[in-house]
A and B are shown apart, each in its own frame.
Chain A
Amino acid sequence: MRALDRKLLRDLWNVRSQVLAIALVVSSGVALLVMAQGVFGSLLTTRDAYYARYAFADVFAGAKRVPNWVEERIAAIPGVKQVQTRVVVSVSLDVPDVSDPVNGRLISLPDRGRPALNDVALRRGRFLDPDRAEEALVGERFAEAHGLDLGDRLFAVINGRRQPLEIVGVALSPEYVYGIGPGELVPDPKHFGFLWMTRRHLATAFEMEGGFNDVALTLADRSPSVERAAIVELDAILDPYGGLGAIPRAEQTSNWYLQNELTQLQNMGLLVPLIFLAVATFLLNVVLRRTVAVQREQIAALKALGYSNIRLGVHYVQWAVVVVALGALLGIGAGLLLAEAMLGMYMEYFRFPLLVYKVSAAGILIAVGVSLAAATLGALGAVRSVVSLPPAEAMRPATPETFRVSLFERLGARRWLSQPARMVLRNLSRRPLRAVLSIVGIASAGAIMVVGWAMMDSMDELLEVQFNIIQRQDLSVSFFEPVERSAVHELAALPGVMQVEPTGAVAARLRNGHLQKQTAIQALAPDARLRRVVDVDYRAIQLDRPGLVLSTVLADQLQVEPGDMLVVEVMEAARPVREVVLTDTVDDLLGVTAYMEQESLQRLVRRDETVNGAMLRIDSLAEDRLYGLLKAMPAVAGVTLRSAALESIQTYMLDNMSMMMSVNLFFALVIAFGVIYNTARISLSETSRELASLRVIGFTRAEISSILLGELGVLTLAAIPLGLLLGYGMITGVMSAFESELFRLPVVVESSTFVVSAAAVLGSMAISAWTVRRKLHDLDLVAVLKTRE
């Protein structure tokens, strides 16, 4: 090993704790990047492989009842490659030993052979025997949630009749990677399940012989224009059969959620690591500059011995490279582990029969490359000023640092400040850029913490609003067929029912010129108490005027404002097409919805039966008995519990968010500690001589500590409000990035979030201060006086 390389290793060893602190910041950035890249890459590759192998369709459509011969017409639509018709029905399920209401979707599989599209992946057991009417495949998560095994039986309640089902296999489908039931945000496999039955038997049970009510197709060419044309044609064909409007793959529920998750991973996977790498580059630069300044005379001596400027430049660049490389190695290792843990978590909610683990080497190389380049630039900047000096000049001590009376003092504060306080202020104002960057570095750590906790605050607010202000029912009941409003009186008469409100929804397409949106119009009673529409301040809005009320997001998509007219194409009953005025918009948080006062909706649809469900408030003592009675009512298709929905969302948040939060929090602490500790070490190194001089003239350890730590304190105290502000700005940005049709998170930052974030930053400072104070105690008073700076 060359002498200069030995010097490099020993120099690094001498500042090992600082090297480690910087390497940890680098590794945090790299780890987050590798994690996000790994999870994103693996999910994307896995999804694509899954979709390809199991023939996930391109276009999906539902209808009321379509005769089988129409399939040929659909196949003849230009660009259509393959068509798969099915019978899909919603039922309520009776699982042995489960008293809670459970709903399910039965999906038909062809009588012979595998489905051409949306094939199922068999996890256990065998495929269906077409001659046995009771056989069913059950979705994996549902089986897990209820501990169902092959050979177990459950019942689908069809028109009040219990149809026994025997589980012969456990399966997954590309259609239900994210397996949520209607109206759910998060899969709740305890209360909703997917089951597959042979087409013939399912059709018989649901009086769908000779027809289908669901169709999926693939296109030879998936360009948007072809897709749009196919959807228009398909809608035209299905229209007479109660078509509910076709949707492209992008809008298919499970795929849409999956895509949404991927996009978020991609965005978050870039921004946060960049902050870390920027902070690491800054730290590296500061520490290296200090090292070079201290080694000024060594550099001169090396030059005198004949080392070239370039060789010396390389020496210090190597210094930076070693630190970054160390951080990168740690980061890649940690990132891969984290990616695996995150994927494990994702696999719980997004189900795939296969997992292609893929980490993009290019992404990692770019990250490491960028940080190496930044480190190199920083090193060169630091070393240039020194190598440019002639050796003889460099051997002389550097001229004393020039100080000025700080601006703060010039403004009149001077007379109030003790000499140590003036030292702190002038040290800071001598290198204002460094002070500012330190503040920004610490602030960004605080901001990351605020964002982490504020996400939780927002989620809590969302749940509070959704489940305590908007939805106040205990359970909701859905019917197979629309009924008259009077039918809900029957529900009211059931034991334990305290309050009933009818709900209704009508499938419709809203149009404004060429803009259109497939949705359902919700009917609301003007005096609704269990399901309400609220304004920005969460006050109930009275729906007492005829006309539509839309979610603001939906109104924006359709480019309409209150007072504008919209074309409403009802996709049920006589399928009337009407112009309706938009009376109001609401900033609701979940989903995108169109609302209408129930009698106006009834007139619009021109049908008496517009009630297809009801909201109930019940006596919790009577719930088990009530579930049994509801399940036995032939008209009831399903019963959904509000508490179950809330619980599954909370569990999901706890699983998903708490992991992300711990990761973020840990790394934010690394940043905070990295910046504060390095700042402390640098200023210790720069002022140790002064501090030792003060000790000699009689200052106590506590007094000199307060000078050094005062500087840290000023930086930290300045960083905290900035961090909180920055965090608030970031959370606003993050929330608008999250804003989707699915949900809008309200920007809510509880004061406890600010307090905890500030406390975490202060805690990092306390730890850094404690570490550095120990060094202060070891100051060699004699040695420091014998050497010149």
Chain B
Amino acid sequence: MDAATAATAESTETPPVFAMRGVTKVYAMGEVEVHALRGVDLDLHDGEFAVLLGPSGSGKSTLLNILGGLDGPTDGLVTYRGRELSLGGDRALTRYRRRHVGFVFQFYNLIPSLTARENVALVTEIAGDPIAPEDALALVGLKYRLDHFPSQMSGGEQQRVAIARAIAKRPDVLLCDEPTGALDISTGIAVLGALEKVNSELGTTTAVITHNAAISAMADRVISLADGLITSDVRNSTKQPAATIEW
């Protein structure tokens, strides 16, 4: 029994949050067709902290975008809690992102004209049962930076604001695309610490994509991708605390 079937077998106990079956994604880049995903099967479960590892071009960002409802598969099935994501079009996807998904990006994507608190409030104002912006920021250790604008904060602080913004709506899933990619090691570890805390305290299903293998040490599960296919899917027997990670 290889790693992938082991993970699938385990999932029969509780239904997965996400289920992908035979997902392919083909981009037309001018006259060339790029096969970003070549038939991926994957389940993600409640409360899981998964790291998707792979070199650039492996298809991990495409996978994350499809999970997050930013993009649809060319072929195959993606379900979120049993409902098919590709149905319903843009309006349904927007509603899905709005209610269920928190995003964290490599370049933070904060709104420069809003303070930390206001960036978080941006989400809490449109969410059903949000965490107060101040509490969300306290969770990521930014209690004292509430009224700072992005230009007044370091990259790590900005990324933690982004995490606070992502989790403030109590999303069912937190999707992070290279959250430490633009950061040095010490600020990067502070950001990972924030993700860890959110996952353990709120129980938010978290998927982090990265090409930094060191980060996989803190995950429940490490999924490796290469050339549009899952090459391994391993469950960590012991999770290492974020603070002890080094690269």
Question: CA of A693 to CA of B122 in the docked complex: distance in angstroms?
Answer: 11
- Please give, as numbers and ranges, the residues of chain A lying within 8 Å of B111 by CB-CB distance: 419, 423, 690, 693-694
Binds A, one of B80-88, B94-102, B215-223: B94-102
- Tell me, yes or no, whether B114 is within 8 Å of chain A by CB: yes
Q: Type the 1/0 row for A412-446, where 1 means its CB is closer than 8 Å to any CB of B.
A: 00000011101100110010000000000000000
- Please give, as numbers and ranges, the residues of chain B lying within 8 Å of A690 by CB-CB distance: 109, 111-113
Offer 24 A-B interface pairs, CB within 8 angstroms, sorted by A.
A399-B151, A401-B151, A402-B151, A419-B114, A422-B114, A422-B118, A426-B113, A430-B113, A689-B109, A690-B111, A693-B105, A695-B94, A697-B98, A697-B165, A698-B97, A698-B98, A698-B126, A699-B94, A699-B98, A700-B98, A701-B94, A781-B70, A785-B109, A785-B177
Cβ-defined partner of B97 (8 Å) among A420, A427, A697: A697
Beta-carbon nearest neighbor of B150 in chain A:
A400
- Tell me, yes or no, whether B61 is within 8 Å of chain A by CB: yes
Cβ-defined partner of B109 (8 Å) among A422, A693, A699, A703: A693
Question: CA of A15 to CA of B119 in the docked complex: distance in angstroms?
Answer: 31
Q: Type the 1/0 row for A565-581, where 1 means its CB is closer than 8 Å to any CB of B.
A: 00000000000000000
Q: A405-B115, A699-B98 are in contact. List 19 more A-B contacts (CB 8 A).
A: A399-B151, A400-B112, A402-B149, A419-B114, A420-B122, A423-B113, A426-B113, A690-B113, A694-B111, A697-B102, A697-B123, A698-B123, A699-B94, A701-B94, A703-B126, A782-B61, A782-B70, A785-B105, A788-B182
Question: CA of A78 to CA of B109 in the docked complex: distance in angstroms?
Answer: 89
Residues of B within 8 A of A (CB): 61, 65, 68, 70-71, 90-91, 94-95, 97-99, 101-103, 105-107, 109-115, 118-119, 121-123, 125-126, 149-151, 165-166, 169, 177, 182
Interface of A is mostly: helix
List CB contacts (< 8 Å) of A671-702 with chain B. 689-690, 692-701
Residues of A within 8 A of B (CB): 399-405, 418-420, 422-423, 426-427, 430, 689-690, 692-701, 703, 781-782, 785-789
Beta-carbon nearest neighbor of B91 in chain A:
A700
- Please give, as numbers and ranges, the residues of chain A lying within 8 Å of B102 by CB-CB distance: 697
Q: Are A426 and B114 in contact (CB under 8 A)?
A: yes
Q: Are B149 and A403 in contact (CB under 8 A)?
A: yes
- Please give, as numbers and ranges, the residues of chain B lying within 8 Å of A401 by CB-CB distance: 112-113, 151
Interface of B is mostly: mixed
- Please give, as numbers and ranges, the residues of chain B lying within 8 Å of A701 by CB-CB distance: 90, 94
- Please give, as numbers and ranges, the residues of chain A lying within 8 Å of B112 by CB-CB distance: 400-401, 403, 690
Beta-carbon nearest neighbor of B178 in chain A:
A786
A672 to chain B, nearest CB (A): 26
Question: CA of A403 to CA of B111 in the docked complex: distance in angstroms?
Answer: 10
Question: CA of A420 to CA of B112 in the docked complex: distance in angstroms?
Answer: 12
Q: A419-B125, A689-B109, A781-B70 are in contact. Are A698 and B114 (CB under 8 A)?
A: no
Q: Are B113 and A427 in contact (CB under 8 A)?
A: yes
Question: CA of A422 to CA of B117 in the docked complex: distance in angstroms?
Answer: 12
Q: Are B107 and A418 in contact (CB under 8 A)?
A: no
A395 to chain B, nearest CB (A): 15
Question: CA of A697 to CA of B71 in the docked complex: distance in angstroms?
Answer: 14
- Please give, as numbers and ranges, the residues of chain A lying within 8 Å of B121 by CB-CB distance: 419
A404 to chain B, nearest CB (A): 8
Q: Are A700 and B70 in contact (CB under 8 A)?
A: no
Question: CA of A420 to CA of B118 in the docked complex: distance in angstroms?
Answer: 10
Beta-carbon nearest neighbor of A787 in chain B:
B107
What are the 3 tightest A-B residue pairs by CB atom distance, in nearest-first order? A698-B98, A426-B113, A693-B109
Cβ-defined partner of A786 (8 Å) among B61, B151, B169: B61
Question: CA of A786 to CA of B64 in the docked complex: distance in angstroms?
Answer: 13
Q: A422-B114, A785-B109 are in contact. Are A700 and B94 (CB under 8 A)?
A: yes
- Please give, as numbers and ranges, the residues of chain B lying within 8 Å of A781 by CB-CB distance: 70
B27 to chain A, nearest CB (A): 10
B158 to chain A, nearest CB (A): 8
Beta-carbon nearest neighbor of A401 in chain B:
B112
Q: A419-B118, A419-B121, A422-B118 are in contact. Are A782 and B151 (CB under 8 A)?
A: no
- Please give, as numbers and ranges, the residues of chain B lying within 8 Å of A695 by CB-CB distance: 94
Beta-carbon nearest neighbor of B177 in chain A:
A785
Question: CA of A399 to CA of B111 in the docked complex: distance in angstroms?
Answer: 14
Q: A698-B99, A698-B101 are in contact. Are A423 and B114 (CB under 8 A)?
A: yes
- Please give, as numbers and ranges, the residues of chain A lying within 8 Å of B105 by CB-CB distance: 693, 785
Q: Which of A404, A427, A693 has the largest number of chain B CB atoms within 10 A?
A: A693
B213 to chain A, nearest CB (A): 21
- Please give, as numbers and ranges, the residues of chain B lying within 8 Å of A788 by CB-CB distance: 107, 182
B179 to chain A, nearest CB (A): 12
Question: CA of A690 to CA of B177 in the docked complex: distance in angstroms?
Answer: 17
- Please give, as numbers and ranges, the residues of chain B lying within 8 Å of A696 by CB-CB distance: 68, 70, 97, 103, 109
B95 to chain A, nearest CB (A): 8
Cβ-defined partner of B107 (8 Å) among A399, A419, A430, A785: A785
Beta-carbon nearest neighbor of B152 in chain A:
A402
Question: CA of A758 to CA of B150 in the docked complex: distance in angstroms?
Answer: 38
- Please give, as numbers and ranges, the residues of chain B lying within 8 Å of A426 by CB-CB distance: 113-114
